[in-house]
């Protein structure tokens, strides 16, 4: 049945038939929509020109056939729709997938009605179809774009040409804390932190108004007032005529990245300063050993009534002060000789408390908050006391009008994410030692330089700026991490994290140095190896002054030759650690082959990997630290010789 047959069906009133049929056939011919009819078996009974255009089959090809326009996977859905239509249902499907004559896919929206005879029985189906392929593709691509923008990690802001915000994505909400509805219609200046001057924004607008892309970094402020740093690219958006209609800003929060970079720079700087300080301290130790040692010898030899004694005592005192400074520098440069033990920090804090109370003075309250189930750490007890004292003294100095110092301990876990944000931190179980005060706090500027040696805000003569440098070095060398929280006028808290040790070894409490009687004189033979002449002479004088026989060598090789040539017994090798050609350790090892019973005492002002692994003394190694006093040397030599 073609169009004419349809129009001249017996249902149309005889009188109106010519006019009505002309209108109808015009409508069907001219319709931009495909209008097609099928018999109940799906055979095409009408196929208008729009259907030809949309599907690609001509009327001749289509009529009387069952066209393969339904893809196999849609067959079931199609049969169901046809069943519904043949039962008399009228319906619209907005999106059906069909195929064209050339096999290409097409998306159509379809309205379907049953065709009825006058008696109401259904003899076919009419479908009106619209090609929505392009429309759907456009919608999909827009949805994809929207999803991408909505889910981008970068903050995206679209403004009109006057800068009024028209769109922000969820990343913007996340980063700034503002909700979309709060900022649409606003100007991005709500994010201003006040840290850029007017010229900054003027330059930006000058570039944008020229139609160019602006790139730069904003120091902005979140809704909660916290500042953040973002790298931004702002591009003009043009309509098809080339007119700028919008600006789009794509911005990335780089606060963390910049902080990491800053921290890395900082730790590199500390490393370099540390190396320098360590080198200086090493040379100083030899000189100071001589200055102090000879002063002591001189004092020993001068009669009590000598007027020179006062002068020598002054030299001695200056030597002591210089030695104290050198010790701090060495601590900072992590070149100290540490003697770590498994420690209960609570015991160290309690033990130090007595002295601290005296240090704190009247108007400062000292309280402790110690975790009863504290884990152990491995550290040098004397050094940890030093850390506590230095932090407590700083706390006192930050509270000239009085206040409270709280020393607390607790187990703590440093998370991998925390470690990732702090380059020098190893994640894992730690013990936290904190010293908090209610003092004046410190500025960001002070915090940035806190741990550098010689950084002080105190008057000359009050602060040397080595307190925290020492603390820093000790903590680092102990494998720990130090951090500070401080707000101006509201006090500071220093947090020291030391790695937890899990194996319960016997626990030291920080040893008291007993006051020893003057060492008894000796008769034994000592082989002395030291490349620094002043130190060697001093040591020889001290030893022979105490009755020892001394064989003197300027380096390791000489010492070995002396040992081979010497017929009698040698009781002790006293050797410097860092020597050119042959280190003290190598000398020790080789001489032991000749004389297995020989005792060895090392002296060093400096940790050296050859003998001291990472600055940590191996348990069996006996060491005398430089600078030493005549009495210190004599005592240590006696001790080593007397120990079984
Ligand atoms: N608890 C604190 N409260 C406020 N500022 C502090 C605190 N601790 C340290 N500071 C600041 O850090 C600076 C450096 O401290 P550090 O202990 O290294 O040196 P110092 O105390 O000035 O001198 P030194 O300790 O050598 O006598 C101090 O000058 C001070 O400005
Ligand atoms: Mg200090």
Whole-number pLDDT of residue 263: 81
Nearest ligand 1 atom to alpha carbon 328: 26
Query: What's the average model confidence in pLDDT over 355-372?
Result: 90
For the chain, give every domain's residue range. 3-137, 152-253, 341-501, 525-642
More confident residue, 508 or 22: 22
Class of the domain covering 341-501: alpha beta
Fold: same for 3-137 and 525-642: no
- Whether the per-residue pLDDT at 353 is higher than 90: the answer is no
The CA-based angle 175-179-180, given to 5 degrees, is 105
pLDDT value of position 429: 95
Structure tokens at 150: 């909505």
Q: Whose CA is nearest to atom 28 of ligand 1?
A: 456
Cα–ligand 2 centroid distance for 397 (angstroms):
8
CA-proximal residue: ligand 1, atom 19 (nearest): 465
The answer to whether residue 13 scores a pLDDT higher than 90 is no
CA of 395 to the centre of ligand 1 (A): 8
Best of 324, 386, 394, 486 to mutate for ligand 1, by most ligand atoms within 8 A of CB? 394
pLDDT for res 6: 53
Cα–Cα distances in Å, from 362 out to 275, 316, 368, 398, 506? 40, 33, 17, 15, 38
Which one of 392, 458, 462 would you pick to mutate in the ligand 1 pocket, going by the greatest count of ligand atoms within 8 A of its CB? 458
pLDDT of residue 487: 87
Least confident of 133-147, 226-240, 447-461, 525-539: 447-461
pLDDT reported for residue 489:
86
The CATH architecture of the domain made up of 152-253 is 2-Layer Sandwich (3.30)
Q: What is the pLDDT of residue 3?
A: 53
Ligand 1 atom closest to Cα of 451? 18
- 390 alpha carbon to ligand 1 midpoint, in Å? 9
Architecture, CATH, for domain 3-137? 2-Layer Sandwich (3.30)
Alpha-carbon span 29 to 254, nearest angstrom: 64
Residue 127, beta-bridge partner list: 36, 112
**In sequence order, which residues have a C-beta less than 8 Å from that of residue 557 and are 6 or more positions away?**
581, 582
User: What tokens were used for 169?
Assistant: 């994505």
Confidence class for position 133, pLDDT limits 50, 70, 90: very high
Mean of pLDDT values over 425-440: 94
pLDDT for res 328: 79
Confidence at residue 155, expressed as pLDDT on a 0 to 100 scale: 95
Q: How many CB atoms lie within 10 A of CB 99?
A: 18
Distance 468 CA to ligand 1 centre (A): 7
Q: Whose CA is nearest to atom 25 of ligand 1?
A: 467
* CA dist., res. 33 & res. 22, Å (int): 18
Instruction: State the ligand closest to the CA atom of 325.
Output: 1
Which residue CA neighbors atom 31 of ligand 1 most closely?
457
Between the CA of 332 and the centroid of ligand 1 the distance, in Å, is 15
Closest residue to atom 27 of ligand 1, CA basis: 463
Residue 359, pLDDT score: 83
Q: What are phi and psi of 477, to 5 degrees?
A: -65, -25
The strand pairing partners of 492, in sequence order, are 486
Phi/psi at 96 (5° precision): -120, 145
Ligand 1 center from residue 358 Cα (angstroms): 19
User: What pLDDT is attached to residue 163?
Assistant: 93
Identify which ligand lies nearest to the alpha carbon of 453: 1
Rounded Cα distance, 457 and 397, in Å: 11
305 conformational bin, left if phi > 0, alpha if psi -120 to 50, beta if neither: alpha
The pocket around ligand 1, CB under 6 angstroms, is made up of 394-395, 398, 437, 439-442, 446, 450, 455-458, 463-469, 492
Q: Which of 400, 444, 456, 470 best tests ligand 1's pocket when mutated (most atoms within 8 Å of CB)?
A: 456
User: Can you say whether residue 205 is alpha, beta or left, with left for phi > 0 and alpha for psi between -120 and 50 degrees?
Assistant: alpha
Q: What's the CA angle centered on 151, arms 149 and 152, to 5 degrees?
A: 65
Instruction: Name the closest-CA residue to atom 14, ligand 1.
Output: 456
Which-ligand-closest: CA of 450? 1
Distance 593 CA to ligand 2 centre (A): 49
Exposed e or buried b per residue across 604-614, where buried means at least 16 C-beta atoms within 10 angstroms of its C-beta: bbbbbeebbee
Residue 518 pLDDT exceeds 80? no
422 within 8 A of 481, measured Cβ to Cβ = yes
- Residue-wise pLDDT for 604-633, tens only, equals 776 544 444 434 455 456 778 788 888 889
Mode of pairing for the β-strands spanning 599-604 and 572-576: parallel
**Degrees to nearest 5, angle at CA 550 with 547 and 552:** 155
Q: Which residues of 163-192 are buried (b: 16+ CB within 10 A; e: fewer)?
A: eebeebbebbbebbebeeeebeeeebeebe
Kindly report the protein residue whose alpha carbon is nearest to atom 8 of ligand 1.
394
Q: Please provide the average confidence, as pLDDT, over all residues in the chain.
A: 88
Rounded CA separation 181/174 (Å): 14
Which of 465, 483, 485, 494 is the pocket-test mutation for ligand 1 (most atoms within 8 Å of CB)?
Answer: 465
What's the count of helices (H) and strands (E) in the chain, helices before strands? Answer: 20, 22
| Residue whose token pair is 């020892």 | 548
Among residues 319, 323, 371, the alpha carbon closest in space to that of 347 is found at 371
296-341 pLDDT per residue, tens: 889 988 999 999 999 999 999 999 888 888 887 777 776 666 778 8
**pLDDT value of residue 5:** 57
Token digits for 16?
């109106």
Q: What are phi and psi of 249, to 5 degrees?
A: -110, 130
Alpha helix stretches (DSSP H) within 521-643? 533-545, 556-565, 584-594, 630-642
* Span from the CA of 353 to the centroid of ligand 2 (angstroms): 18
Q: How far is the CA of 469 from the centre of ligand 2 (A)?
A: 9
Shortest-distance ligand to the CA of residue 457 = 1
Please give the number of the atom of ligand 1 that sits closest to the Cα of 464. 26
Q: How many residues does the chain have?
A: 644
Q: What's the pLDDT at 607? A: 55
| Residue, of 508 and 342, whose pLDDT is higher | 342
Res 184 pLDDT > 90:
yes
Q: What stretches of 478-628 show up as alpha helix (H) in DSSP? A: 533-545, 556-565, 584-594
Whether the pLDDT of residue 15 is over 70: the answer is: no
pLDDT cut 70: percent of the chain above it? 91
Paired sense of beta strands 122-131 and 364-370, if any: unpaired
The mean pLDDT of 31-46, rounded to a whole number, is 94
- Beta strands of 117-243 (E only): which ranges? 122-131, 155-160, 165-168, 214-221, 227-238
455 CA → ligand 2 middle, Å: 10
Atom of ligand 1 nearest to the CA of 494: 1
* Maximum separation of any 2 CA atoms in the chain, in Å: 154
Instruction: Provide the pLDDT for residue 130.
Output: 96
What integer is the mean pLDDT of 491-506?
85
Atom of ligand 1 nearest to the CA of 469: 18
Alpha helices in 177-254 (DSSP H): 180-183, 198-209
CA of 458 to the centre of ligand 1 (A): 7
Interval between CA 465 and ligand 2 midpoint (Å): 6
| pLDDT, tens digit, 9 for 90 and up, residues 55-86 | 999 999 999 999 889 999 999 999 999 999 99
Ligand nearest to the CA of residue 395, numbered in listed order: 1
CA dist., res. 115 & res. 443, Å (int): 87
Residues with CB in 5 Å of ion ligand 2: 394, 467
Spatial distance between the Cα atoms of 399 and 288, rounded to a whole number of angstroms: 36
Ligand 2 center to 363 CA (angstroms): 19
The pLDDT value recorded for residue 515 is 46
pLDDT of residue 199: 94
Q: For residue 453, which atom of ligand 1 is closest to its CA?
A: 18
Residue nearest to atom 29 of ligand 1 (CA): 456
Cα–ligand 1 centroid distance for 465 (angstroms):
7
CA of residue 112 relative to chain centroid, distance: 64
Contacts of 333 (CB under 8 A, 6+ apart): 274, 275, 276, 277, 278, 281, 473
Domain 525-642: state its class: alpha beta
């Amino acid at each position: 049945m073609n169009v004419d047959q349809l129009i001249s069906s017996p249902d149309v009133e005889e009188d109106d038939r010519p006019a009505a049929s002309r209108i109808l056939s015009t409508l069907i011919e001219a319709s931009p929509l495909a209008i097609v009819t099928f018999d109940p078996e799906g055979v095409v009974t009408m196929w208008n020109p729009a259907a030809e255009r949309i599907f690609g089959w001509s009327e001749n090809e289509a009529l009387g056939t069952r066209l393969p326009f339904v893809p196999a996977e849609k067959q079931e859905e199609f049969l169901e729709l046809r069943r519904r239509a043949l039962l008399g249902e009228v319906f619209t499907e907005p999106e059906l997938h069909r195929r064209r004559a050339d096999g290409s896919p097409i998306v159509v929206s379809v309205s379907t009605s049953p065709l009825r005879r006058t008696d109401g029985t259904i003899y076919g189906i009419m479908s009106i179809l619209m090609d929505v392929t392009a429309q759907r593709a456009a919608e999909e691509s827009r949805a994809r774009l929207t999803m991408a923008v909505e889910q981008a990690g970068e903050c995206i802001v679209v403004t009109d040409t006057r800068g009024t915000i028209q769109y922000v994505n969820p990343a913007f909400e996340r980063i700034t804390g503002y909700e979309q509805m709060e900022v649409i219609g606003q100007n991005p200046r709500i994010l201003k932190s006040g840290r850029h001057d007017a010229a900054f924004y003027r330059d930006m607008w000058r570039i944008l108004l020229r139609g160019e892309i602006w790139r730069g970094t904003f120091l902005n402020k979140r809704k909660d007032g916290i500042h953040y740093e973002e790298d931004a690219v702002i591009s003009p958006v043009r309509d098809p005529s080339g007119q700028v209609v919008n600006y789009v800003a794509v911005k990335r929060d780089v606060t963390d990245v910049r902080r990491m970079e800053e921290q890395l720079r900082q730790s590199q700087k500390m490393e370099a300063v540390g190396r320098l300080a360590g080198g200086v301290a090493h040379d100083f130790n030899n000189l100071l050993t001589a200055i102090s040692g000879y002063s002591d010898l001189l004092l020993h030899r001068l009669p009590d009534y000598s007027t020179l004694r006062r002068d020598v005592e002054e030299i001695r005192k200056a030597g002591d002060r210089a030695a104290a400074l050198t010790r701090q520098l060495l601590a900072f440069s992590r070149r100290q000789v540490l003697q770590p033990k498994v420690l209960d920090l609570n015991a160290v804090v309690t033990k130090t408390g007595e002295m601290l109370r005296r240090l704190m003075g009247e108007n400062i309250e000292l309280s402790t908050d110690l975790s009863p189930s504290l884990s152990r750490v491995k550290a040098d007890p004397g050094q940890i006391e030093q850390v506590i004292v230095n932090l407590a003294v700083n706390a006192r100095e930050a509270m000239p009008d009085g206040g409270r110092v709280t020393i607390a301990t607790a187990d703590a876990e440093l998370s991998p994410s925390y470690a990732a944000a702090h380059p020098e931190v190893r994640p894992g179980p730690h013990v936290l030692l904190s010293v908090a005060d209610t003092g004046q706090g410190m500025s960001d500027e002070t915090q940035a330089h806190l741990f550098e040696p010689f950084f002080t805000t105190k008057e000359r003569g009050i602060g040397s700026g080595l307190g925290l440098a020492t603390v820093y070095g000790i903590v680092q060398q102990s494998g720990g991490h130090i951090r500070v929280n401080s707000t101006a006028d509201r006090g500071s808290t220093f947090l020291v994290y030391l790695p937890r040790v899990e194996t319960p070894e016997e626990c030291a409490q920080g040893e008291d140095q007993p006051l020893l009687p003057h060492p008894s004189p000796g008769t034994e033979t000592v082989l002395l190896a030291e490349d620094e002449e002043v130190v060697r002479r001093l040591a020889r004088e001290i030893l022979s002054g105490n009755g020892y026989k001394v064989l003197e060598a300027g380096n390791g090789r000489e010492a070995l030759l002396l040992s081979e040539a010497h017929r009698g017994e040698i009781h002790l090798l006293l050797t410097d650690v860092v020597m050119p050609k042959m280190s003290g350790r190598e000398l020790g090892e080789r001489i032991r082959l000749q004389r297995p019973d020989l005792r060895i005492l090392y002296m060093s002002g400096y940790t050296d990997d050859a003998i001291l692994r990472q600055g940590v003394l191996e348990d069996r190694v006996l060491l005398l630290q430089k600078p030493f006093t005549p009495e210190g040397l004599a005592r240590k030599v006696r001790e080593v010789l007397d120990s079984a």
